[in-house]
Chains A and B, each alone.
Chain A
Amino acid sequence: MLTSNLVLGAAGAGFNGGDILFQLAAFLILLALLKKYAWGPLMGIMNEREQHIANEISAAENSRKEASSLIEEQRELIKQSRLEAQGLIENAKKQGDVQRDEIIALARTEAERLKESAKLEIEQQKEQAVAAIREQVASLSVLVASKVIEKELSAADQEKLINEYIQEAGEGR
């Protein structure tokens, strides 16, 4: 009973040509239907995803490159501006120095000029004073001479008179 069951083809008596044809047809139909309705769309979406991922990766790569180039640019800019600022400071310093020297020199010459003019004025005043004294001395001596001539005087009187006049002259001043 069991042995006959195990013999090849025991399930059917004779040749099952119909089964073969049916199996073949069923499998081919299944293949076509699945390709159209299941595997095709599934493969499509998988390909689409693959494409999408590839695109995303390349986009990310691009933006990364862009970002790094931007960073480089910014760094360059910062460096440049720092240099510029340094230059500006340097310039300002230099200019300040120059200005300071100029101001000092100007002040010095001004002071010199003032001193010169003051000296000159002093000199003038002195000369004027001397001239005035000289004039008065001259007139005094003329006066003294006239007085002497006017009356004979004793030596004592003469001396007294000169002293008087000198005193007078001192008081007159």
Chain B
Amino acid sequence: MHHEAPIVSFLGLNFNLANILMITIASVIVFIIAVLSTRTLAMRPTGLQNFFEWVMDFVKGIIDSTMDWKTGGRFHVLGITLMMYIFVSNMLGLPFSIVYDNTLWWKSPTADPVVTLTLATMVVGLSHYYGVKLKGTKEYGKEFFRPFWFMFPIKIIEEFANTLTLGLRLYGNIYAGEILLALIAGGLATGFGGHLAAIIPMLAWQGFSLFIGAIQAFIFTMLTMVYLAHKVSTDH
């Protein structure tokens, strides 16, 4: 069950080549889908343009539900990209995983805590950046002592807790899904009868993972907007 990771040290940094491969693949897929679907834009939308306009409206709805559009509009692109990227990443590990020479190469990039925590840290970092930018340093600092001054330690802890939960929620869901898929495929599907027996739970769990992957992409985007709104809006 346990596979080695292809780790390479370069300039004092450890690179997991599997992660780098999958991140690149996920990014390229998202880019290709997005560009292909928006290549022929028309006033009367058809096909994929319709779908992406729906996605845009969906993300707009998420942003609208957390902050007003005047401040939230600038996060629209971030929200769509995050959602698309995480959704595609979640889907990548579903159909199969590739193990070569006892090294795991093909998986969901989001099944690695490093990747999800990076995204989470980026989001929280962005929320602080925009908090300072939109409200000014003073107002941003004051926010840590509201509603009472003694809430300050809790507020500080909250920032780290937010980062951790945001990243680990995504990681946990996807990683667990892949583990179970690997268990069903590797543990149950031995021999002809085992393969037959594995088909049903495999189908069921893949369908469920599809659902979870979509839900997690939505939740990640939603929480991103909530954290951003928490920092940039003046009244909440």
- What CA separation (Å) do A24 and B120 show in the bound complex? 11
Shortest CB distance A15–B (Å): 6
Shortest CB distance A43–B (Å): 7
Shortest CB distance B11–A (Å): 8
Q: Which of B30, B35, B114, B119 has the most CB of A within 10 A?
A: B114
Stretch of A4-12, A98-106, A114-122 that contacts chain B? A4-12
Chain A residue numbers with a CB within 8 Å of B151 are none
Shortest CB distance A59–B (Å): 16
Query: Which one, B24, B42, B52, B77, contacts A26 given CB within 8 A?
Result: B24
- What CA separation (Å) do A22 and B103 show in the bound complex? 20
Stretch of A28-36, A131-139, A151-159 that contacts chain B? A28-36
- What CA separation (Å) do A11 and B3 show in the bound complex? 8
Contact A34 B31 (CB under 8 A): yes
Contact A27 B2 (CB under 8 A): no
Stretch of A45-53, A66-74, A80-88, A162-170 that contacts chain B? A45-53
Q: Is B195 an interface residue (CB 8 A)?
A: no
Query: Which one, B1, B115, B168, contacts A19 given CB within 8 A?
Result: B115
Q: Main secondary structure on chain A at its contact with chain B?
A: helix
Chain A residue numbers with a CB within 8 Å of B53 are 42, 46
Contact A24 B118 (CB under 8 A): yes
Contact A19 B49 (CB under 8 A): no
- What CA separation (Å) do A115 and B3 show in the bound complex? 146
Given known pairs A22-B19, A38-B34, the reply for A5 and B179 (CB within 8 Å) is: yes
Q: Is A16 an interface residue (CB 8 A)?
A: yes
Contact A5 B13 (CB under 8 A): no
Q: Which of B38, B49, B56, B112 has the most CB of A within 10 A?
A: B38
Q: Is A149 an interface residue (CB 8 A)?
A: no
Closest to A6 in B: B179
Shortest CB distance B121–A (Å): 8
Contact B80 A39 (CB under 8 A): yes
Chain A residue numbers with a CB within 8 Å of B13 are 17-18, 21
Q: Is B85 an interface residue (CB 8 A)?
A: yes
Query: Which one, A12, A23, A39, A43, contacts B14 given CB within 8 A?
Result: A12
Chain A residue numbers with a CB within 8 Å of B52 are 38, 42
Q: Is B27 an interface residue (CB 8 A)?
A: yes
- In B1-59, which residues have CB < 8 Å from any A CB? 1-2, 5, 7-8, 10, 12-16, 19-20, 23-24, 27, 30-31, 34-35, 37-38, 41-43, 49, 52-53, 56
User: Interface of A with B (CB < 8 Å)?
Assistant: 1-2, 4-6, 8-24, 26-27, 29-31, 33-35, 37-46, 48-49, 52
